[in-house]
Each structure stands twice: as structure tokens, then as C-alpha cells.
Amino acid sequence: MSRRGGSRAIIMAALVDGSPRSCREIIRETGLSRSRVYIALYRCWMRGLVLRTAKPIMSHERVLRGRGGVSQHTRPFHLYVLRPEGVDDVAVNGHRYVGFSEEYLDPRGGGGVSKASRVLGFLRDNADGAFFSRDVADALAEFSVKPGDVMANVRRYERQGLVYVRGYKTDETETPFKRGYLLTWLDPESPRRQAIAEAIGRTDAVLEGRASSSPLMERVHRIRDIILEHSQLRKLVSSTYIGNHLGCSHHELERGLERALQLYPDMRMLKLFDAYRYFYHDSLLEADLNAAVEMKRNYIRMAKGRDNRIGHNWEAVAEWFIDRFTTGARFWTQQHRKGGMDPRRITLHLLKGVGGRRNAAEVDRVWEVNPGVFAPPITYVLSCKWGLVSKGHVDDFLEVLRWSKDFGVDTPDGREIKQGVVGVFAASSFNPRENVRLKDESTISLAQYAARRNLQLVTAAEFNVKLRERGCPKGVTVQKVCRLARDEGEVRRTLDYVWSDSMNASKILRDLQEGNEDLYRFEKMLEA
């Protein structure tokens, strides 16, 4: 008997019990070499002596490689059984076994188009575009091509100079984009420099509007784009605007701004009033720059000057009286990214935009009171406004409460404020002449309208009554404390002093005024 026939006879004897076996199992049982078993099995399958699984079976393997550690990979293999007389297709243990046919040949054995060839062919046939690896896998899904199959073969073609691969590039590594690496064809017939330039151009077109580098560099590029955009509009842009536009943390913003100024010498920064940073591109004409600077100065005067300080001080006044006269009040606190912001100011998440605010709105204070063991707790939400308050301000505050995640609730009649939530609106004064017209054409006062909406109105006059009852002179008012105090902390300290020594309240306010003369001069400079 020939050696070839002997191998076939030994293999057929191993399969005679009818149990499916793989090549490795037959090698172990027969002691034949790997090549002899593979060749003999393939010939037995061609001649109709055995049946083979229609699709390869995938098996995960861990291979110990000594000092090289352990490698893991997925191994495809087939199972073989003896062919029953006159049968070319059987099912055993959930696997389908078939006779020889070209449609069942493995591409890696030369019997069909391999996955690697399909990936390369796709990029070559679409040489005018660039594609993420996941998109390539999706396009070839009908051929069982997966994302892992794409990159496993593309790297080989990259080494051969046929494919350009692009990802996030950092100082030391390159990582994939969200949808994988970006791939495009490199024309081997074109000059190398030209082929690479064309490939980069195609990937740039795909990446337009997407992140194309490390997060820091992407942030730097976006900062430059924002500054260029504002300079084209003949405007300065503040660091606060850039940070809000990018949606990054304070540390990320500062690092991005510092890096942008280092990498792009044509970026400029200036400080107004030695406190507020603004950025522009040096292409901005001097006349336009001067006009933009003056506009920002005017904005700072309005937003950062006396009125802004007094408005924040008024919040502290309302908080002080609430804390003094409400038994068991527990204020909410919240950490803010903006440094110096009072932790008792609360940012609410909005389910719907209100008054130009899209996702969030601030309320000045939130506190809880538990009336007793058998009564549910009540949550009070405070909004303060320095100046004359109208119905529009009240309605805006109520809309914020209705559409906030914390204090609003969906009902069959629409969005309403939760039970147990009470809004409090504190103002220096409410418009006494404003009336609210109802659907039945009747009119009520603003105070009556607020009461119907379960909203409490508090005025400075009510706080001054408490000071009079304490024994403070008539000239000592909460309005004067707001105008004279430097900040919210000084408001609280001043009211503590006035309350504990009401007979000397006038002297306390005079000393406060003398101590803050430098602040008043700065505010006058802003207004000048």
C-alpha cells in the first residue's frame, strides 16, 4: 500500500465510529504529521469519502509563548465525519456537514475571495474617498467582514504602501477616531509625495467638523477658529465665552488658551481694567480694534459695575433675613466651576428653554423647612431682583420652576410646579401701577396675581420694618446696606453688626462707606 493510501486508510479508520473530529484531534489519535493529515483529509473530501462542516467553527485560544508571555487569538477550524452512502448534506450536533463544492472552499486556502482582498478592493474601487474602518466593515458585512478583519489586514497593506491610515496623532501614539481609523487608497502609480498629499486631502474632507487630533490640539484649533470668527466680525471674544462654547472645564480652557497663544503668534490677548481678558487676531484693523475695545469697556461697566454688585448684595440681604426669621431652614449648596460663585446659588437643569436659557437657569437660593413630624417638608425657591419688578419677571421665574427637573412635574393638564414647592420673589420694589388682566377680562394687582400662582412677594420695605422693630434709626435701610457693602459676605457681616448693636447702626454704615471708598472710585471709573 502506498504511503498516500496508508494515510487515507488510517484517517478513515479514525472516523469509523461516526463522531466528528477536527484535524488536530485526528493528528493526536493517528500520530501522523500535520501536513499528511491536512492533505489526506482534503482529498477524502474532494472524492466524497467524508463530509466537512459548511462553515468554519471559531475557537478562542490562549497560547503560552514562554518569555513572550501569552497570546490570545481566534482560530477557525472544520470538523469531519464519514459520508453516509448517497448523502451529501447532514446535520450533526447543530453543525451542517456538506460534500465538496467550490462555494464551501475557504478563501484563505485559495478557494475564493478573501476578506483581506475584499477590503483592499473596496478601498481601491473607491479611491476618491476616505472611510472609517467601521464604515468599511458595514459596506462588506454581506461577506462576513467585521471591524477587526478590516484593521488586521489594512496594517499589512499600510506597510506595503497601498493604504493611508489616519487616527488621533499625539506626541507618541496614534489612536482611532470614534468610528475607527480613517482609511483611503494610496495610488502606487503616482509620485509618492503627490499620493500622500491627495490622501490627506481626502481624509481632511471627511474630518471637517470632526475631532481630528488629540483633545488638547482639537481644543486649540477650535479656540483659534473662534478668535478668527470674532475678528472677522470685528469683535473681541472673552475667555468666558470660549469656555462656554467649548463646554470644557476651567483647567482645560486655561491650558488650551495658553497653548494657542504659544503656537499661534498672530493671536493676541488684552486685559481691560486689569481684570478681564479678551482675545483677537492681529488681522483686526486698528480702528476696528479700538471700536471693539470701547464696546467691551461699556459692557463691563454695565455688567461688572455698581448695579451688578448691588444686585448680588440684594440676594445676600434676602438670604440673611430668611436665615434669621425661618426656624429650621436648611439651605441647599452646590459646587460651581466658576470660581468665586456663591455655593448657595443653585443651577437648575431645564427640560425646556425659558427666556433664552436653553439647558440651565440659576436661582438665588433654595431652602427646605420641615414644619413637623406629621407635615411634609416645604421647599422654597428664591429669586431676587434689584429694581422695579413687573409681571414679566414673575412669569419668567414661574416658568423656570415649571420646566426645571427638580421642581416641575408632568400632569394630565401639562407641566406644573410640584406640590410642596413655593416660589419666593424678593425685589426692592414691585410696580404698584401694574395690573394683570385675566381671561374673564377682570384685572387684579401684581401681588394678587402672584398669590394665585402660589408665589410669595417680598419687598425691601418689609425687611426695613424688621430693622425698625429692632430699634435701628430710620436712615438705616437694607437698600443702603446693599449700596455700601463690597460683596455678599460684607452684607451678612454688616447686618449682623446692625442687628446686635442697633443703637450704633448709623455709625456702622458710615464706617462701611469710608472703608470702601476705593471700590466706589473704581466703579465711577467704569461709569466715566
CATH of the domain at 94: 1.10.10
pLDDT above 90 coverage of the chain, percent: 15
Global confidence as pTM: 0.45
Across the range 376-404, mean pLDDT stands at 87
Q: Which residue has the higher pLDDT, 475 or 434?
A: 475
Helices (H), 304-445: 306-325, 391-403
Domain identity same for 390 and 512: yes
Domain residues for the domain of 234 are: 215-303
Domain identity same for 297 and 311: no
The contacts of residue 358 (CB under 8 Å, 6+ apart) are 350
CA distances from 288 to 53, 236, 351, 440 (A): 77, 10, 40, 55
Across the range 56-67, mean pLDDT stands at 75
- 89 within 8 A of 98, measured Cβ to Cβ: yes
pLDDT in tens, 90-126: 888 888 888 888 777 765 544 456 788 888 888 888 8
pLDDT at 494 over 90: yes
Confidence of residue 311 (pLDDT cuts 50, 70, 90): confident
Domain identity same for 299 and 400: no
Domain identity same for 283 and 294: yes
Does residue 466 sit within a domain?
A: yes
Q: How many domains does the chain have?
A: 4
Domain identity same for 174 and 263: no
pLDDT at 480 over 50: yes
Cell numbers 498629499 correspond to 197
Domain identity same for 286 and 227: yes
pLDDT at 418 over 80: yes
Lowest mean pLDDT across 18-32, 47-61, 332-346: 332-346
- Give the cell for residue 39: 492533505
Across the range 251-269, mean pLDDT stands at 88
CA atoms within 13 A on the CB side of 403: 17
Domain identity same for 432 and 518: yes
Domain identity same for 363 and 455: yes
pLDDT in tens, 460-470: 899 999 999 99
Confidence of residue 490 (pLDDT cuts 50, 70, 90): very high
Lowest mean pLDDT across 60-64, 231-235, 250-254, 333-337: 60-64
Domain identity same for 294 and 328: no
Q: Which of 76, 86, 95 is nearest to 20 (CA)?
A: 95
Domain identity same for 279 and 404: no
Does residue 527 sit within a domain?
A: no
The contacts of residue 88 (CB under 8 Å, 6+ apart) are 48, 51, 98, 99
- 283 within 8 A of 233, measured Cβ to Cβ: no
- Give the cell for residue 427: 425685589
Across the range 286-303, mean pLDDT stands at 80
Domain identity same for 448 and 416: yes
Helix (H) or strand (E) run with residue 292 in it: helix 286-303
- Which of the listed residues 271, 303, 335 is the one where a domain comes to its end? 303
Would you state the pLDDT for residue 3?
Answer: 53
- Which of the listed residues 207, 235, 264 is the one where a domain comes to its end? 207
- Is residue 127 left, alpha or beta, with left meaning phi > 0 and alpha meaning psi from -120 to 50? alpha
- Which of the listed residues 207, 229, 262 is the one where a domain comes to its end? 207
Would you state the pLDDT for residue 110?
Answer: 44
What does the alpha-carbon distance between residue 502 and residue 495 come to, in Å, rounded to a whole number? Answer: 10
Rg, the chain, Cα only: 39
Does residue 528 sit within a domain?
A: no
CATH of the domain at 390: 3.40.1350.10
Domain identity same for 167 and 105: no
pLDDT at 289 over 60: yes
CATH of the domain at 143: 1.10.10.10
What does the alpha-carbon distance between residue 441 and residue 360 come to, in Å, rounded to a whole number? Answer: 35
What does the alpha-carbon distance between residue 349 and residue 361 come to, in Å, rounded to a whole number? Answer: 7
Across the range 390-402, mean pLDDT stands at 88
| Phi, psi torsion values for 320, nearest 5 degrees | -60, -45
CA distances from 413 to 349, 395, 402, 500 (A): 22, 18, 13, 50
